[in-house]
Amino acid sequence: MPTINGHCHCGAVKFKASIAHQIQAHRCNCSICSMSGFLHVFVGGEDFELQSGQEALSEYRFNTGIARHLFCRHCGIKSFYVPRSHPQGYSLNLSCLELPDDASVEILDFDGLHWEKHIDALHSHTA
């Protein structure tokens, strides 16, 4: 799989990840995702590398405390985080990725308001 770069708005946080050119991104309607407009691209932990900005990250946890929402403390952008649904991997914000011109993106809706009821469907669509 090709490597794609990503970053926050100010560039303090930079990462790279191995992602196929045919990308499935998930739009979640839970409280935090719908308010922030986060579009999830899931990758395994082995397919992600934080290149710079560890010291710029601030963490926010809520509800079960499992998800590690990571924000750049300079610009406030959540370019990636460790999701509750994939605690051994990462969810990358589609909007923070430098996609190649030939990338194909499919947006799939996920009912995160009823997370427990629908999590199995999310797992069947992601790595």
Residue pLDDT, tens place only, 28-78: 999 999 999 999 999 999 999 999 999 999 999 998 889 999 999 999 999
Q: What CATH number is given for 3-124 in this structure?
A: 2.170.150.70
Q: Is the pLDDT of residue 126 over 60?
A: no
Rounded to 5 degrees, φ, ψ at 46 are -75, -15
pLDDT at 121: 77
Q: Which helix (H) or strand (E) holds 16?
A: strand 14-18
pLDDT at 115: 82
Confidence of residue 116 (pLDDT cuts 50, 70, 90): confident
Classify burial at 122, counting beta carbons within 10 Å of its beta carbon; exposed 0-12, middle 13-18, buried 19 or more: buried
Q: Is the pLDDT of residue 127 over 90?
A: no
Q: Is the pLDDT of residue 125 over 60?
A: no
pLDDT at 119: 83
pLDDT 10s digits, 83-93:
998 899 999 99
d(CA 19, CA 36): 23
pLDDT at 32: 93
Q: Is the pLDDT of residue 3 over 90?
A: yes
